[in-house]
Structure 1
Amino acid sequence: MCRDCSVPLTPSRRSFSTFLAVGAGLTLLTACNPSFPAGSVQTPEGSTSAVASGSPAAVPSESPEPVATAVVEPVSETPATAQPSPSAALPAQHSLTDPASPWLVVNKYRPLQPADYAPADLVQPAVAMATSGESALLNGTTAAAAEAMFAAAAADGVFLTLASGYRSYNTQVATYNNYVAARGQADADTASARPGYSEHQTGWAFDIADGGGACSFQPCFADQPAGVWAAANGHRFGFVVRYQWMFHPITGYYYEPWHLRYIGVEAATDMVNKGIHTLEEYFGTGAAPGYP
């Protein structure tokens, strides 16, 4: 995910979208690969998508009740700003550090443990695809929820496609190393998740596109039917928009209206009801604007 928090932001999402349409801004928004073929768009954390006019991008391989608390295990680096968890209203307890837990919080302060974690239950969901290979996979729970969500969207006349799902540790190693070689580590760390720090590696997260292919991996996706529908309805199926507008000082990443993260129906609905926009705030882990 390509981000640089030093870039000044404008007050409106539309003006920010216009800025990001130029090369430098687009580099900041998407996760970077130093080279990709003509006729493609750059997708988060370095994958590329061939774009056909009027069609989705094709990507090559690559529940609320009282009263309980989230299980917060220690991690190697914890920001000093961590606060008590607003998630205490939920009945179920899940780990915040186990990669197999739907409540996992992974960010620049909280690497996966183990770093080369791979889900044991990867499957390809029965949904419309704009990708193939490992990127078409999700863990079993996320896949089932995605199937229900895509079907509900279709019933409302909105066509979602899965644009990028699972990304293995080795894929992330190659992506990150290529960027370091091209631009240096300091720049790479503002642009691409280090291996072992990506939500895509967990199987709990995926990127969506609109059936018409418009605004794929761009801020204007938020205004497309798929983006509008997912933001308004994703929580009904356990999904939240993980990197929301203007919350990069907390999440460490700029706006990605296409990046959905499964946390379960109860937690996702509770976040919406409480008006909380980030997992860091909801689970009380503290902000993670950059690597420690």
Structure 2
Amino acid sequence: MPNNSQPLPSRRVFASLLTAGAGMAALAACTPEDAAPSPVAANAAGEAPSLPTPSSVGTPSAAASEPAPVESAPSATPSNTAPSHAVAQQHSLTDPTSPWVVVNKHRPLVPQDFVPADLVQPGVRLAVSGEAALLNSTTATAAEKMFGAAATEGVIMTLASGYRSYSTQVATYNGYVASTGQAAADRASARPGHSEHQTGWSFDIGDGAGACSFQPCFAEQPAAIWAKANAHKFGFVVRYPWMFHDTTGYFYESWHLRYIGVEAATDMTARGIATLEEYFGLEAAPDYF
């Protein structure tokens, strides 16, 4: 699911946002197997500084009681066309082996049980083991560079959750359904075949101090602050930005990073485009069909 010099919302504002958002803290795309409710404990989604106003593709919810100043973003291009900027269409938006694949509540993986052929364990500090410590080889190399650059500036990141197989997502999602029912499960966990973690192109970061993992307060930790300001330099974007849940389908996750390549990530950042849906001219996906 990074920070620059923009101020964070107050605790009072966030508390009111939680109330108006009807359970916002339970809504997350990242649901590690050990973080789901019984049989797996709910993962939190969070708070963070403001991001640029989306185009007509995704309008932020009125739940924000005190919206921060924003600047307009360019309008989106027609569906399934190249983005309206200098970066030419380079990769597929549907092939799961593509760094530009867009996976959301309207766009499942094809095939849904896709397994990356090049999963590796990156040479970074790990907070997990097993499949969750894996990424595809391209993402792993970029992550190693990013974690290393952060460390030179005194910021220690950990890999908190990487690859998640289809079978793991089945167990995670079914745990939510059994505990809370399908409607609530769809607000808390990606359905099997709809999780970016399955592609190997995304992962969750933790802070070296271990504070606030998968919680709203993670946005205030050094790892999240550094990533928000610098991740694009290594090809990553924060996939689920603040107040764009009506576009992405998930509330802000300051820990969830997605690799799309340095050129595209830098372009998105420079142009103030917050979501992949807007960048690639795709429809908003707040809910499943």
> Could you say which residue in structure 2 is the equivalent of 1:277?
274
Q: Distance in 1 between matches of 2:10 and 2:219?
A: 9
Supply the AA of the counterpart residue of 2:167.
N
Supply the AA of the counterpart residue of 1:279.
L
> Could you say which residue in structure 2 is the equivalent of 1:135?
132
Q: Distance in 1 between matches of 2:27 and 2:253?
A: 11
1:34 Cα deviation (Å)? 2.4
Supply the AA of the counterpart residue of 1:33.
A
> Could you say which residue in structure 2 is the equivalent of 1:259?
256
> Could you say which residue in structure 2 is the equivalent of 1:195?
192
Residue 211 (structure 1) aligned to one of 183, 208, 212: 208
Residue 34 (structure 1) aligned to one of 2, 17, 37: 37
Residue 150 (structure 1) aligned to one of 147, 151, 166: 147
Identity of aligned residues (%): 66
Q: Distance in 2 between matches of 1:100 and 1:189?
A: 25
1:43 Cα deviation (Å)? 4.2
Does the 8 Å contact 1:240/1:268 carry over to 2? yes
Q: Which has the higher contact order (CA 8 A, sep 6+)?
A: 2
1:218 Cα deviation (Å)? 1.4
> What TM-score does the superposition give when structure 2 sets the normalisation length?
0.77
Structure 2: gaps of 5 or more residues: 2-7, 46-77
Give yes or no for the alignment of 1:114 onto 2:111. yes
Q: Would the alpha carbon gap of residues 26 and 88 (structure 1) be closer, same or farther in structure 2, given more than 3 Å must change?
A: closer
Does the 8 Å contact 1:122/1:140 carry over to 2? yes
Q: Would the alpha carbon gap of residues 83 and 101 (structure 1) be closer, same or farther in structure 2, given more than 3 Å must change?
A: closer
Q: Would the alpha carbon gap of residues 237 and 174 (structure 1) be closer, same or farther in structure 2, given more than 3 Å must change?
A: same
> Could you say which residue in structure 1 is the equivalent of 2:168?
171
Does the 8 Å contact 2:38/2:175 carry over to 1? no
Alignment deviations for residues 148-202 of structure 1 (CA, whole Å, 9 cap, x no partner): 0000000011000000000000000111112212222222112211000000000
Q: Distance in 2 between matches of 1:101 and 1:187?
A: 31
Q: Distance in 2 between matches of 1:198 and 1:261?
A: 12
Supply the AA of the counterpart residue of 1:169.
Y
1:88 Cα deviation (Å)? 4.3
Q: Distance in 1 between matches of 2:220 and 2:134?
A: 26
Alignment deviations for residues 184-240 of structure 1 (CA, whole Å, 9 cap, x no partner): 222211221100000000000000011011121112212211111000000000000
Secondary structure at the aligned position of 1:215 is classed as coil
Structure 1: gaps of 5 or more residues: 2-10, 46-80
Alignment deviations for residues 17-74 of structure 1 (CA, whole Å, 9 cap, x no partner): 55669xx65434574722268xxx75479xxxxxxxxxxxxxxxxxxxxxxxxxxxxx
Tell me the number of residue pairs that the alignment of Structure 1 and Structure 2 aligns. 244
Supply the AA of the counterpart residue of 1:241.
V
> Could you say which residue in structure 1 is the equivalent of 2:75?
none
Alignment deviations for residues 82-117 of structure 1 (CA, whole Å, 9 cap, x no partner): 486535421451000000000000000000000000
> What TM-score does the superposition give when structure 1 sets the normalisation length?
0.77
Supply the AA of the counterpart residue of 2:26.
T
Q: What is the aligned-residue RMSD (CA, Å)?
A: 2.6
Secondary structure at the aligned position of 2:255 is classed as strand
Residue 182 (structure 1) aligned to one of 179, 183, 190: 179
Give yes or no for the alignment of 1:93 onto 2:96. no
1:15 Cα deviation (Å)? 3.8
